[in-house]
């Protein structure tokens, strides 16, 4: 799992280190994700967003359909012989 220094972007071999072995920059403990992991998470969020969006559109479509069915002006009575 890659972990890069936020200051010099060099690969850090030891994530437990408090500072970068190259430039000495402090490594924030609250930075548990590497750039690749963040990108992966962002991608997952995007996919989730797309799924939610599709669901919302489907719901909207269903609502419109029901609204149309309830609308007396749009209501077409069944053909009676």
Instruction: Give the nearest distance from C-beta 42 to Zn ion in angstroms.
Output: 23
Q: Is 8 in the site for Zn ion (CB under 5 A)?
A: yes
Residue 38's H or E segment, with its range, is: helix 35-70
Q: Which residues fall within 8 angstroms of residue 51, CB to CB, at 6 or more apart?
A: none
Using alpha carbons only, give the angle 77, 78, 81 rounded to the nearest 5 degrees. Answer: 120
Instruction: Give the nearest distance from C-beta 40 to Zn ion in angstroms.
Output: 23
Please give the residues from 17 up to 76 whose contact with Zn ion meets the rule CB under 5 A. 20, 22-23, 25
Which residues contact Zn ion by CB under 5 A?
5, 7-8, 20, 22-23, 25
């Amino acid at each position: 799992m890659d972990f890069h220094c936020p200051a010099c972007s060099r690969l850090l071999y030891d994530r437990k280190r408090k500072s970068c072995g190259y430039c000495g920059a402090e490594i924030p403990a609250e930075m548990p994700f590497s750039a690749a992991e963040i990108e992966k998470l962002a991608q997952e969020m995007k996919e989730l967003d797309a799924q939610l969006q599709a669901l919302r559109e489907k719901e909207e479509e269903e609502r419109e359909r029901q609204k149309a069915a309830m609308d007396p002006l749009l209501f077409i009575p069944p053909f009676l012989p």
